[in-house]
Amino acid sequence: MAITKLEDGRWFVDVEPIKGKRFRKRFKTKGEAQRFEASVRAKLAVTPEWNPRPKDARRLSQLIERWYELHGHAITSGRRRRNMLLFIAAKLGNPIAQTFTVSDLVALRKVELEEGALPRSINVRYSYLKSIYTELRRLGDIDYGNPLDTLKPLKPQQEVVSFLSKAQVATLVSALRDYSTFPHLALISEICLATGARWSEAQRLTWPMVRAGCVVFANTKSKRVRSVPISQALQDRLEAYFTKKDRFPFCREAFARMVKRCNIELPRGQCTHVLRHTFASHFMMNGGNILALKEILGHTSLNMTMRYAHLSPEYLQDAVRLNPLSGCL
């Protein structure tokens, strides 16, 4: 019994609301004893450390699905990210999410590096995994800390931006225009070269998004809508296409084959993105403004755009004028 009457007439409370939390006390009246017991049990309901949640036994894949249900579905690339994370979970053996440790992920990272994965790609994927715990804790779905908080990203070697020369652009565009199997292939490529759009942005373009000499890109990676001017010739070609078709079909692999056919060698993972790099690089080489380029590309940070700054004719020219050999040779 939680409350018993002692031989001396007093009342004894012996209550253990949870294992390891036991309270004993004597009172003169039964009412006082009952109130004490009630207060102890009430504290159990409102004090987290008195009422700990049972251990979370969900697997990592279940946590990923929960993240997608609560948050990921609202992200532009949420489904793709979910599939990527489920693939990582499978490679890890789908561990218990709460007992998963940094050392488990570091071991997988070592294997992926040995298999030839790029450090930057690994960093991106693992940051997505880390954000799963952060977001679910913010939403109150988990009550434990992020087991990946101590994971430090790899420091990749800074890559030189690859872009096409004017001769390569001419060769590629000519080959694409002659490729009758996919007549829209040249048009998508020219949109990227003329506006700096990502391939996916250009491929999603529809006629209502072409307005008064500009193309409007929506549902972008940065979540920002941006408008970029185009030439009348390109607008006329878009109008001619969209009078017959509603949208562009998927054709990324066909583009990759044409790049290979033109004997253009590119770094891994740059097949379509090289068009965006080519626009930005030539924009700066022709004297363009770095801030204007940031807006055209839709970058959220100027740091992202600065990778093209060195291509400006005036970039760091003081190094030539002010070095100690200036005027001596």
Average pLDDT, the chain: 88
* Gyration radius of the chain's alpha carbons: 31
Helix (H, G, I), strand (E, B), or coil: what is residue 209? helix
Answer yes or no: do 179 and 215 share one domain: yes
Q: 300 and 239, same structural domain?
A: yes
Return the beta strands (E) in the chain as ranges. Answer: 3-5, 11-18, 21-27, 210-211, 214-217, 226-229
What is the structure's pLDDT at 45?
Answer: 64
- Report percent pLDDT > 70 for the chain: 95
Q: Which of 87-91, 204-208, 312-316 has the lowest mean pLDDT?
A: 312-316
Q: How many domains does the chain have?
A: 3
Same structural domain, 241 and 221: yes
Q: Which two tokens stand for residue 143?
A: 């009550």
The catalytic residue positions are 198, 221, 273, 276, 299, 308
pLDDT bracket for residue 317 (50, 70, 90):
confident
Q: What is the mean pLDDT of residues 15-26?
A: 79
Domain that includes residue 66, residue range = 60-138
Q: Look up residue 102 and give its two tokens.
A: 């940094």
Q: What is the band of 1 on the pLDDT scale with cuts at 50, 70, 90?
A: low
CA distance 119 to 268: 13
Q: Evaluate if residue 239 carries a pLDDT over 80.
A: yes
Examine residue 324 and state whether it is found in any structural domain, yes or no. Answer: no
* Residues 298 and 215 grouped into a single domain: yes
Residue 266 falls within a domain, yes or no? yes
Alpha helix positions (H), 178-309: 184-195, 199-203, 232-242, 252-261, 273-285, 290-297, 302-305
